Amino acid sequence: MAHPMAATSTNADRPARGAELELTVDSLAYGGAGVARLDGYVVFVHGAIPGDRVRAVVDKRKRSYAEARALEVLEPSAERIAPLAAHPGAPWQVLPYERQLEAKQSQVQEALRRIARLDSYELEPIVPASEQWRYRNKLEYSFGADREGRLTCGFHAPGRWDQIVELDDCMLASTPGNAAREQIVRWCREQRLAAYDRRTGEGLLRNLVVREGRRTGQLLVRLVTSTGQLERASLAAAAEGLHGLLWTRLDGVAESTQGGETELIAGADRLDEELAGMRFRISAEAFFQTNTEMAERLYGLAIEYAEPHGSERAYDLYCGIGTIGLLLAPRVAEVWGLELVPEAISDAIANARANEIDNAHFFAGDVRLALRELTGRAGRPDLLVVDPPRAGLSQKVVRRLIEAAPRRIVYVSCNPTTLAPNAAQLVEAGYRLRRLRPVDMFPQTPHIECVALLERR
C-alpha cells in the first residue's frame, strides 16, 4: 500500500537500496521518522528531526517512498538537543520535550483530519508525562555478543537485528529495574551461556523481560531462551531479592517473548501493583500499561469521559486485568469485561475480589466472536469502553459495537491512525466524536496514546 504522504516517481528518480544520500529533513512523520524529499519523492529518515541535514543510507525502496537511516548529522537542526543516553528506545530524546508534545498533539489532529475527515470535536491539550525518564515498568532486553564474543544484553541497534546496544544504565528503567537485569546477566556470564544466534541456531539466551511494581517495589524477571537446559537450582539462587523469576523456552527463529513454555524458577509468577487506590495482581502473561504513573492519569481521563451517573451497564472490552472496569465499577451499576488472555481474566476476577467489588464480571474471549454472546447474556450496554491493541478494531468489530448500541463509547487508543478509521465508521453510523485528548505515556519516543469520547446522536 502506498504511504499516504508519498508521491509516485519513475524508477530512475528513486535511490537504490544501500545508496547513501545527503538529505534535508523538513517535518516529522507519524511513527517518528523525519521526512525529506528528493524532487517530490518522499524519504522517511529514521534518526533525523526537522531542520537536520544528514547523510543517510536507504534501507527500503518502494514505488512511492523510501526509508533511510541517518548515519551522520552534517548540519544539526536548531532544535536538536544533546541526547542524555545512547538508547535505541528513546529516538526522540534529541527533541526538546515541549516539541515532542506539540508533535504528538498535531499528529493526532492530523490523523483524525486526514483519515477520518473529522475536525469538529473538542481536541484537548496533551497531558504531559509526570516523568520524562525512568518511567517504564516493563523492559524487554535482547541478548547478543560483542566483537570479542562477550555476552551483551541491551536493545537492537536501529534497523539491525544482529547488533545489540548494551546499556549499563537503561534510562527508561528504574534503578532497581536496572539492578535486576544486571543480576541475571551476571549469572548468565558466570555460567558461560551464549546468546542465541539466529543464523546458526546455536546459543541459548534470547531475551530478558524485567517487570516492576512501581508502588510495591516487586520485580518479576523472565529469562527467555531457545530450547535447551539450564542449571535450575543455580538460577534460583541467582534470583535473590527478586519477587519472582520465570524461565520461558521458545522454539523458532522469530524474535518474540510470547508463547513457548514457561516455568517458575523462584518466588512468585506474578506481581502486584497499586493504582488509584486499588491493588492489582498482574500475571506474567497479562498486559499492563508500561507507565504506571501515567496509566493512572489515562484511566482517570477515561472515567471522566465516560460521565457515569451510577445507573449504567458498562462494558470494558479488551479489559486486560480489569483496570478500567474496576475503577469504573463504583460509579456504575454493573461492569462486564471481555479479554482474550485467560490469565488476565483470572487476574481481573481476583482483582475484583481483592478490592471488594461485586458488580464486575469478567470473561475470556475474542471480542470479534464473543461480543454478541455477551450482549445476549448481560443485556445491551449504556456505556462501552474499548482499549484495543495497536491494530485497532476491525470493521466487523465496529459493526458489532454499533449493534450493541451503547449511548457513549470511550475509546482508549495507542494508535491514532487506527482510532481514526474506527471513529469515521462510528460517525457514519450515527455517533458524534465529542472529545479527544492525547496522553503522553511514552516520553522520548514517538508513541501516542489518547482517549476519545463518541456519543450516539
Ligand X SMILES: C[S@@+](CC[C@H](N)C(=O)[O-])C[C@H]1O[C@@H](n2cnc3c(N)ncnc32)[C@H](O)[C@@H]1O
- Site of interaction with ligand X (CB under 6 A): 287-289, 318-320, 323-324, 338-341, 344, 366-368, 387-389, 414
Alpha helices in 134-208 (DSSP H): 175-190
Residue 24 or 375 having the CB closest to ligand X: 375
Read off the amino acid at residue 132. Answer: Q
**Strand 138-145 relative to strand 205-212: parallel, antiparallel, unpaired?**
antiparallel
Q: Which residues are catalytic?
A: 414
CB of 258 to ligand X, least distance (A): 10
User: From the centroid of its chain, how far is CA 188?
Assistant: 28
Q: Which is nearer to ligand X, 303 or 324 (CB)?
A: 324
- C-beta of 367 vs 433, nearer to ligand X: 367
Sign of CA pseudo-dihedral 308, 314, 319, 322: positive
Q: How far apart are CB 452 and ligand X at their closest, in Å?
A: 14
CB atoms within 10 A of CB 184: 22
**Closer Cβ to ligand X, 31 or 389, answer by number:** 389
Between 70 and 414, name the residue whose CB sits nearer to ligand X: 414
- Given a contact cutoff of 8 angstroms between Cβ atoms, the answer to whether 262 and 207 are in contact is no
Nearest to 392, CA basis, from 364, 363, 415, 370: 415
Minimum CB–partner distance for residue 389 and ligand X (Å) = 5
Report d(CA 322, CA 335) in Å as an integer: 10
CA–CA separation, 171 and 291 (whole Å) = 14
Measured between alpha carbons, how far is 450 from 417 in angstroms, rounded to an integer? 11
**Residue nearest ligand X by beta-carbon distance:** 320
**Neighbour-count burial for 309-343, b at 16+ CB within 10 Å, e otherwise:** eeebbbbbbbbbbbbbbbbbbbbbebbbbbbbeeb
Let me know the angle formed at the C-alpha of 127 by 125 and 128, rounded to the nearest 5 degrees. Answer: 120
3-state secondary structure of 421: helix
Instruction: Tell me 127's DSSP state.
Output: B
Beta carbon of residue 280, minimum distance to ligand X (angstroms, whole number): 9
Which of residues 368 and 377 has its CB atom nearest to ligand X in the complex?
368
Q: How far is the CB of 295 from ligand X (least distance, A)?
A: 7
Smallest gap, in angstroms, from Cβ of residue 364 to ligand X?
8
- DSSP per-residue letters across 339-397: ES-HHHHHHHHHHHHHTT--SEEEEES-HHHHHHHHHHHH---SEEEE---TT---HHH
CB 272 within 8 Å of CB 282: yes
Residue the block writes with cell 520485580: 219
The helix/strand/coil state of 436 is strand
**Smallest gap from residue 386 Cβ to ligand X (A):** 9
CB nearer to ligand X: pick between 153 and 344: 344
- Among 387, 254, 377, which Cα is nearest to 313's? 377
